[in-house]
Amino acid sequence: MATDIDKFVHDQLSVWPAVAAKYRALKSTRTRTLPLNGILVTLQSNPGRMPIFDHGCPLCEENYMEHQHTLPFEGRKGRKYNILVNRAPIFPNHLVITRDIHAPQTIWHRFPDMLDLAASLENYIVFYNSPNSGTSVPQHAHFQACPKGYMPLERIAERLLRAVSAGECPEELEFVDSVRDAQLYHYKRFNRGIFMLRATTAKSMAKMFYRLLDCLNLVAEETEPRFNAFTYCSEGEFRAVVTLRSASRPSCYYAQGEEHFAITPGAVDMAGFFVVPEAEDFDRLTGPILQKIYADITLSEEEEKRLLWRLVRTQPRLEVGICAAAEIGFEIISDGAGPQKVSYREGKIDYNGVLYDELVFEAVTISTLFAEPSFILYLAEGEQRFAGTLKFIVDGGKVQAVNILGTEDYLLSVVSLLPEAARREKAISIRGWLLTQMERRQAGHPAPTGPHLENTPEVVTWLEHRPPVAPQAPEEPVHMHFDVCASGHCQRYIGLTPAADSQARAVIDETWGKV
């Protein structure tokens, strides 16, 4: 597609004078550099960056300008995009890749499309602004792309990830985690909240990317975390950079007089290529001012530490007995097969006419924040959604459904059913009880035996008199095939529930692992 893109841009600019003038102006634009926290930031004076909007949404086909052409690109699951020449360029061959329908800006389900686009444009880097992180058109889903090599952080990422690929361990990178063939690294220079990723497959890259986003705080009433993302292909693998942020605009944007700078940083700025739309601001920018701008919009030290902890923390696997019946209806959300059923027959599990001793539908890796639904059970009480793995076993002449998930994901469901005032205390006490139940089951509860004696006959009758033992309360019954059940006998558990609101999530997040 790279050859098609070059021809497309050339043909487009040859018939679109207004935008062609902007691209010609890039050749004479003023630039300078400033050293900042380990990298050399490029400043670009770009008054022509002010966009050309006639009316309505500029990314909808009905509002395209005269002479504006498109090049089609098809994403996953039938999603279609239009590739456009950017009306307000920062770089030569600056592209906008927009959905062919009017849909809000979001990366959910679209990151694989971004990876496919990067694979098709081998000499380009594709980047994305989340809705509150520098995008000028948050109401219409889109990416951007430009030729590789312009952005300082991009060049650093390529150097470091090449070194990692060659088996080296650059000191600027801190390994965080991996998912299958994808690795996540924390970049320790420039600004807080910078992560670099590499993977040999798009699927693994997407899993690692979404795991990072899952661990971010979501600002109230916003649809996704605040971040900018870049991805490209190199040396036969996918590579990406994610810059996390706390705000859309720095304090100087709202200041008056000499302290005011008309700057709204987007992805390019976060990658060290700082675009200055007002000519008078270009000469006034200094290293300390630039550092303050970045400090205003990036993560605090506390926020970064909390994120890194979320990324590496773990939770034990728990088995919860949900229900037992002669027949159970269920649906695995990701496989698209729709509602299914299992039933008890001849001492085994009947699934699609085949008999099994045990049937397991494995889910994704246990999350370090909170898991998404992976299966549905159709119960007498109605449809219920659950995270984690679904396992069917035979127990007492019935099919028993068992949910295997992380203890913290389980606690989120249990605690969310309690009054808000009691949630924190109960989260800690129930977690302690839960771990005890798991240990008791793992221990197996061996039957009591007589005292251990050496060199005694195999059969011994114990006749000695012993002092009477005070009666003890019977132990709480232990389930043999799972750790706890979903009824009031243990703790009421109904899977993922709307009651698991932000307050319940905050309680589990803050008390994670505490007993």
Could you tell me the two tokens for 165? 């690929």
- The residue count for the chain: 515
Max Cα-Cα span within the chain = 108
pLDDT at position 476: 55
pLDDT at position 457: 32
Sheet holding 237-244, edge to edge: 71-74, 80-85, 95-99, 142-147, 124-129, 227-234, 237-244, 194-199, 182-187, 173-179
pLDDT at position 1: 65
A 10 A CB-CB count for 349 gives 21
pLDDT at position 447: 36
pLDDT at position 160: 98
Q: Is CATH 3.30.428.70 correct for 2-311? A: yes
Backbone angles phi, psi at 94, to 5 degrees: -80, 120
DSSP letter for each residue of 430-467: HHHHHHHHHHHHHH--PPP-PPP-SS--SS-------P
Could you tell me the two tokens for 292? 């303050």
Ordered per-residue pLDDT tens for the chain, 515 residues: 656 899 999 999 999 998 999 999 999 999 999 999 989 999 999 987 765 555 789 999 999 988 899 999 999 999 999 999 999 999 999 999 999 999 999 999 999 999 999 999 989 999 999 999 988 899 999 999 999 999 999 999 999 999 999 999 999 999 999 988 999 999 999 999 999 999 999 999 999 999 999 899 878 778 899 999 999 999 999 999 999 999 999 999 999 999 999 999 999 999 999 999 999 999 999 999 999 999 999 999 999 999 999 999 999 999 999 999 999 999 999 888 899 999 999 999 999 999 999 999 998 667 778 888 999 999 988 999 999 999 999 998 999 999 999 999 999 999 999 999 999 999 999 999 999 999 988 887 543 333 333 332 333 333 334 445 454 444 555 788 999 999 988 999 999 988 788 899 999 999 999 99
Closest CA to 430 of 453, 407, 457, 400: 407
Separation CA 342–CA 344 (nearest Å): 7
* CB contact burial 272-308 (16+ within 10 A = b; e otherwise): bbbbbbbeebbeebeeebbeebbebbbbeeebbebbb
User: 3-state SS of 340-361?
Assistant: EEEEEECCEEEECCEEECEEEE
Give how far the C-alpha of residue 259 lies from the chain's centroid of Cα atoms, to the nearest Å: 37
For the chain, which residues make up each domain, given as ranges? 2-311, 315-443+479-511
352: left (phi over 0), alpha (psi -120 to 50) or beta: left
Separation CA 479–CA 452 (nearest Å): 29
A 10 A CB-CB count for 80 gives 12
With residue 470 as reference, give the H or E element that holds it: none
**Amino acid, single-letter form, for residue 62:** E
- Answer whether 364's CB lies under 8 Å from 374's CB: yes
User: Positive or negative, the Cα torsion across 208, 211, 216, 222?
Assistant: positive
A 10 A CB-CB count for 60 gives 17
